[in-house]
């Protein structure tokens, strides 16, 4: 906070350090993020095993980056709401539930795209 006007490489480095603190917090405290991480490892292993083409790898990378980023933003919204009130408040519930809905919607579409990518090679592997 003291040197907010600092510029250049040192400031950039500091922002990376702060971001890494945020990432560490979400990975340690959010069970959903741990589930996303394990799912991403499984997806990458399956993509490697099934020799998925490069353009599909790029789609998977985008999906996983999007999922991680949304979960991180969801956590940021949860913490901000908790900062504002620890009491029950209908708007606090609304804000948290809507933020969670963003993760959910993205997750549903990620699963659909995953099925489209993995379906044909899996089918070929199992039934031919
Ligand atoms: N201050 C609050 N006022 C009203 N409802 C809340 C409040 N905090 C959480 N809720 C609601 O209670 C339910 C469960 O919330 P809970 O606190 O267990 O999880 P979360 O904070 O949403 O997420 P996480 O468990 O990942 O921290 C959700 O529907 C959430 O919107």
What is the pLDDT at residue 5? 67
How many whole angstroms separate alpha carbon 122 and alpha carbon 47? Answer: 10
pTM for the model: 0.90
| Nearest CA, atom 26, ligand 1 | 30
Q: Confirm whether 3 is domain-assigned.
A: no
Tell me how far the alpha carbon of residue 33 lies from the centroid of ligand 1, in angstroms: 16
Tell me how far the alpha carbon of residue 96 lies from the centroid of ligand 1, in angstroms: 6
Domain housing 117:
9-127
| Nearest CA, atom 31, ligand 1 | 93
Determine if ligand 1 sits within 6 Å of the CB of residue 40.
no
| Nearest CA, atom 30, ligand 1 | 93
Q: Confirm whether 4 is domain-assigned.
A: no
What is the pLDDT at residue 4? 66
Q: Which residues of 63-91 are buried (b: 16+ CB within 10 A; e: fewer)?
A: bbeebbebbbebbeebeebeeeeeeeeee
Q: Confirm whether 18 is domain-assigned.
A: yes
What is the pLDDT at residue 9? 87
- Count up the domains in the chain and report the number: 1
Q: Confirm whether 2 is domain-assigned.
A: no
Q: Confirm whether 38 is domain-assigned.
A: yes
**Three-state SS for 18?**
helix
> Relative to the CA of 87, which ligand 1 atom is closest?
1
CATH number at residue 115: 1.10.287.3610
How many whole angstroms separate alpha carbon 8 and alpha carbon 12? Answer: 6
Taking all residues of the chain, what is their mean pLDDT, rounded to a whole number? Answer: 95
Q: Confirm whether 45 is domain-assigned.
A: yes
**Selection from 78, 128, 124 nearest residue 100 by Cα:** 78
What is the pLDDT at residue 7? 79
Q: For the chain, which ranges sit under pLDDT 50?
A: none
């Amino acid at each position: 906070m003291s040197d907010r006007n600092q510029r250049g490489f040192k400031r950039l480095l500091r922002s990376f350090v702060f971001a890494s603190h945020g990432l560490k917090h979400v990975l340690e405290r959010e069970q959903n993020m741990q589930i996303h991480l394990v799912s991403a490892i499984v997806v990458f292993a399956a993509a490697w095993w099934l020799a998925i083409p490069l353009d599909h790898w790029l789609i998977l990378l985008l999906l996983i980056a999007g999922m991680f980023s949304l979960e991180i933003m969801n956590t940021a919204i949860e913490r901000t709401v908790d900062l504002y009130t620890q009491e029950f408040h209908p708007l606090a519930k609304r804000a948290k539930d809507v933020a969670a809905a963003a993760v959910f919607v993205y997750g549903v579409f990620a699963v659909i795209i995953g099925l489209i990518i993995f379906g044909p090679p899996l089918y070929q592997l199992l039934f031919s």
